Amino acid sequence: MSFMDDNGPLADAGSTLRHTLANAFRMVDLTATLNEQTPCYPTDPPFTKSWHTLHSEQGFYVSRLEMGAHSGTHVDAPLHFLGDGFPDVAQLPLQALIGDAIALESPKDPGEDLTVADLAGADIKSGDIVLFRTGWDKRSASPAFFEDEWPGLQPSLVEELIRRGVKAVGGDIASADSPAAIAAGAPSHKLAGRAGMPIFEGLINLDQVIGQRFFFIGLPLKLQGGEASPIRAVALLPNVNPPSDAPQKR
C-alpha cells in the first residue's frame, strides 16, 4: 500500500502528520532565489540556466545548470579553505546542518566585522546554530553583494562560538571572512573548518526570526568532493495560535 493511497491507515497517518506539522509550525524561507541576477564572488562562475531539451520539441523540459558551488544561499564545508584531508560537503553530518538555532540582529556597515560583543545578551546554548543578520541581505540579488568590504566574522568570535559548543554558524553575510581577511588567509573559515562547523552564507529573511529560537534546516546537495553547495534554508517556528480543526479519523 502506498503512503499516498486515498484510503487506509497509512493515508490517515499521512494526513494527520501533514496537518500536525502544518499547524504546529510556521515556516520562513531563508533562501535567495537562484537566477541570472544571482551575484557571485568576483572570481567564481556566474549562474546560468539553459534548456537541454524543450517541451515544444521533445514533450518535456530538461535544464542545464552552470554555477559555482557558492552560488546564492549556500554552505561551506571545511574542505573549502583547509584542503584535502578535511570533510567535503557530502561528508558533513546531517545533525550539523539542522537543529535548534538563534538569529541575532547585528547591523554592520562596510568594513565592520562581527565580534564577540555581538553575542551580548544572546541565549546561546551548546549545540545551537548561530546566525547573524548584519543588514547585508539588503544587497542580495544585486552585484553590490560582493562590493565594498562586506562584514565577516572576527576569528575571536569564531573561537568564542566554538568554546560555547555552537555546531554551525552563518548569516546574511557574503562570506565568513571579509575581503581583507580572505587576503590574509581566511582565518575564520579555517577556525570553523577545523572545529567541523559548517558555515551558512547568503541567508535572507533573518529579520523575520530575529531574537527567536527556531529549528533551522539547511541541507546541501550530497556532492562528493564538493567544498560547498547551494542549500534550501528554512526556519521552523512554533505556531503560537494553531487552528483547532484537527482532521477526523475515519
Active site residue ranges: 80
Give CA separation, 94 vs 89, 91, 190, 216, in Å: 10, 9, 20, 12
Quote the cell numbers at residue 33. 532565489
Quote the cell numbers at residue 197. 562547523
Q: Are 100 and 213 in contact (CB under 8 A)?
A: yes
DSSP letters, 24-35, are HEEEEE--PPPS
Give CA separation, 221 vs 43, 138, 171, 225, in Å: 22, 26, 19, 11
CB atoms within 10 A of CB 21: 12
